[in-house]
Amino acid sequence: MKKVRGASRASTTPEEIASAASTGAASAKAAKAAKAASAKAAPAKAAPAKAAPAKAAKAAPPKPRAPKPRAKRGLAVAARGAEATAHANIAVAKYWGKSDVALNLPAVPSISLTLDGLVTKTRVRFDESLKADQIMLDGRVATDKEAARVVELLDRVRAAAGMLLRAEVVSENRFPTAAGLASSASGFAALAGAAVAAAGLSWSEAQLSALARWSSASAGRSIFGGWAKLPAGKPGQATLAAKPLFGPDHWDVRLVVAETVKGPKKVGSTEGMERSRRTSPIYEAWVAGAPALTRRIERALAKRDLDGLGAAMEQSTYAFHACAMSASPSILYWQPGTLAALRTVETLREKGTSAWATMDAGPHVKVLCHAADAPKVRRALGATEGVTKTMIARPGAGLVVR
C-alpha cells in the first residue's frame, strides 16, 4: 500500500488514522500534533559563524507544496473542495456478518460487480466559516443517525490531514436509498474520494477502499470498476481493503434489476447482521461455508462460466437470507413481488435462458444474464406481479474524483 501524501504534512498511514479516530477528539489531537511537529521541525536561529553565512540562509526549509494531481488514479487534488462520483455494486458472493464491529470488518469474503446505472454524486467543501459540518442527502438535511456516519468518515480524513475545518457535504443518489440497492456502497465510496481530495491528500486506491470500508464494507468494493473482491477481515485489521479482480470489459453480461416496493427497509444491514450473529442457529455454518462459495464464484468468473457462477451466487444469496430469516426476531426482507420475481427467473431457466438471481439485504431482485438475453429477462420481470420497475445495468467504472 502506498503512503499518504499530505498537502501540508508528512504521510499518514491507515494505522495512524485508526489510532487518532479511536479517541473522542481525533481531529483536534491530530491538528495539535501537526502543529507541535511543525514547531519542533523549525530550525533554530543560526549563531554567528566564522564560515560563509550563506549556508545559514539555506537551512530554512522550503514552503510545503501540495502534491500534484494523480490523474491515473482519478484523485485530482482541490484546495478546499472536490466532487466525486461512485457506482453501487451488487455482490455475487454475498457479505453478511462482521468479525469486528468497531472496525466494520466482514466475517466472510465477498465478490461484487460495480454497475453503471446506480450512481451517487457527492461534493465536499472544507470551509473556515463553518461552525459545524453541514450534510445534505438527496435534497434534505441528513438525520442525526445519517450525519453521525458521515462525520465519522470526515473526522478520519481531518485526522490524516491535521486540520479542524468543518465541511459542507452534498450527496445525491440517482436510485432508491436504503432499499437493498447498495446505496451506502456508492455513497461512502463517493464521500471518501471527495473528502480525501478536498483535504488535499493523495491516497492510493487501497487506502481509499480501507477508508470507505470502515463506514460501509460494500463501499470498499465500489472504489473499483468491474469485478472486485473484499477478503474477510481479522479483528483489528484496520487497513483491510478490497482489490480489483477484472475490469468492466472482462465479460459482456448485464444485471437486470427488478424493484418490488418503494421506501427504505425496516431493518438496516448492520442491525440485521448483528442480530443474525447473536441469535441465528445457522450463523456459524454460514460463516464457515461462505469462503468455499466465494472460491467457486471466483473460478467461474475467471472462466466466464455464467451457469457455474449463477448457481453458486444463488446458493450464497439464499444462505445469507436464511441466516437472517432464522434470527430472533426473524428478519424477512422479502415481499410478495420478491418471491414472484424469483419464480420468474426459475421459469426463464426452464425455458433455456441462463438467468440467475441475487439479492442484497432488501426486497429487490437482481438477475445476472448474458447481454443478449437482457431485454428478454427485463420483459419477463416487468410482466411479473409485484414488480414495480425494471432497469438494465452494465458493468460500471470505479471512483472518479474531480
95-149 tens-digit pLDDT: 999 999 999 999 999 999 999 988 999 999 999 999 999 999 999 999 999 999 9
- Residue 63 belongs to some domain of the structure: no
CATH number for 383:
3.30.70.890
Contact (Cβ atoms closer than 8 angstroms) between residue 390 and residue 256: yes
Average pLDDT, the chain: 84
Q: Does one domain contain both 264 and 239?
A: no
**Distance between CA atoms of residues 145 and 299, nearest Å:** 40
Domain annotation covers residue 14: no
- Which of 202, 227, 249 terminates a domain? The answer is 249
- Is 196 a domain residue? yes
Among 249, 268, 303, residue at a domain's last position: 249
Q: Work out the percent of the chain whose per-residue pLDDT is above 70.
A: 78
- Kind and range of the H or E element at 27? helix 26-41
**Domain extent at residue 338:** 253-393
Strand partners, 244: 228
CB 264 within 8 A of CB 243: no
Q: Kindly state the cell numbers that stand for 63.
A: 514552503
Q: Are residues 77 and 153 in the same domain?
A: yes
Please answer whether residues 93 and 221 qualify as being in contact, where contact means their C-beta atoms are separated by less than 8 angstroms. Answer: no
376 and 239 belong to one structural domain: no
Between strands 389-393 and 253-259, the pairing is antiparallel
Residue appearing with cell numbers 454524486: 121
Is the domain of 310 the same as that of 332?
A: yes
Residue that has been written with the C-alpha cell 468494493 in this structure: 221
Nearest to 391 by CA among 86, 88, 84, 121: 88
Domain presence at residue 106: yes
Coil, strand or helix at 386: coil
In a domain, 154, yes or no: yes
- pLDDT at residue 264, rounded to an integer: 81
The percentage of the chain sitting over the pLDDT mark of 90, rounded to a whole number, equals 74
> Residue 238: inside a domain, yes or no?
yes
- Count the domains in the chain: 2
Alpha-carbon distance 135 to 377, whole Å? 39
Considering the domain architecture, whether residues 279 and 308 belong to the same structural domain is answered as yes
Residue 98 pairs with which residues in a beta bridge? 106
- Per the CB < 8 A criterion, the answer to whether 220 and 242 are in contact is yes
Q: Are residues 172 and 261 in the same domain?
A: no
DSSP for 151-174, please give it.
HHHHHHHHHHHT---EEEEEEEES
| Cα–Cα dist 366/255, whole Å | 6
CATH number at residue 203: 3.30.230.10
Let me know whether 297 and 243 are in one domain: no
Residue 235 falls within a domain, yes or no? yes
Residue 13 has pLDDT above 90, yes or no: no
- Same domain? For 234 and 313 the reply is no
Helix axes 14-21, 144-161, angle to 10 degrees: 130
Q: Is the pLDDT of residue 69 over 60?
A: no
Look at residue 228 and tell me whether its pLDDT is greater than 50.
yes
Residues 303 and 236 grouped into a single domain: no
pTM of the complete model: 0.80
| 204/312 same-domain check | no
**Each residue of 284-333: pLDDT tens digit?**
999 999 999 999 999 999 999 999 999 999 999 999 999 999 999 999 99
Among residues 217, 249, 281, which one ends one of the domains? 249
Do 349 and 244 share a structural domain?
Answer: no
Answer whether residue 26 is part of any domain.
no
The set of cell numbers assigned to 382 is 416487468
- Give the span between the Cα atoms of 178 and 95, in whole angstroms: 16
Q: How far is CA 211 from CA 215, 225, 341, in A?
A: 7, 17, 36
Within this chain, do residues 227 and 306 fall inside the same structural domain, yes or no?
Answer: no
- State CA 23 to chain mean position distance: 24
- Which of 40-44, 164-168, 180-184, 308-312 shows the lowest per-residue confidence on average (mean pLDDT)? 40-44
